């Protein structure tokens, strides 16, 4: 009887672990489901970050992607930096208990604002990026698919 219980607990543990996110699951290139932006998520030490690698030129003022700058940045010294290659997400750490990446800051170049953020991986492998102000329910969610 004890052997059957041990086998059952082992199988239960294996099933529950297989559905969990792994620390590096968000690494790589992603495109938003509305096809408006693509980012590259990478890691420096234990911190996860993201850079813009593509966006739809038809959005905003229509200026070509390679010449568009961070014109809404509150710091005048940063308004000439290019949007392509710009770091927009920083400070994310993986929380194994909540199975998500938390405590990040995400920058919205269209408004010049920085928001708190977290990322989750959906069961279908898609990525949910949530930017919010003070409380997670006060914000915006963007959905991404892996490229």
Predicted confidence (pLDDT) per residue in 32-61, tens digit: 999 999 999 999 999 999 999 999 988 777
Between 3.90.245.10, 2.40.30.10, 2.40.128.520, 2.40.340.10, what CATH number should domain 22-146 receive?
2.40.128.520
Question: Domain extents for the chain?
Answer: 22-146
All residues at 6 or more sequence positions from 102 whose CB lies less than 8 Å from its CB, including other chains: 92, 93, 95, 118
The pTM (predicted TM-score) of the whole model is: 0.82
């Amino acid at each position: 009887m004890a052997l059957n219980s041990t086998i059952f607990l082992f199988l239960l543990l294996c099933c529950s672990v297989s559905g969990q996110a792994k620390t590096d699951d968000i690494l790589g290139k992603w495109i938003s489901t509305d096809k408006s932006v693509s980012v590259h998520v990478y890691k420096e030490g234990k911190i996860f970050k993201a850079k813009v690698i593509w966006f739809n030129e038809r959005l905003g003022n229509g200026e070509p992607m390679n010449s568009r700058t961070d014109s809404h940045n509150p710091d005048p010294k940063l308004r000439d930096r290019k949007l392509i290659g710009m770091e927009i997400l920083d400070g994310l750490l993986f929380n194994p208990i909540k199975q998500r990446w938390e405590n990040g800051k995400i920058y919205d170049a269209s408004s010049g604002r920085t928001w708190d953020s977290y990322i989750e991986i959906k069961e279908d492998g898609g990525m949910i990026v949530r930017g919010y102000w003070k409380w997670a329910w006060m914000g915006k969610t963007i959905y991404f698919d892996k490229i």
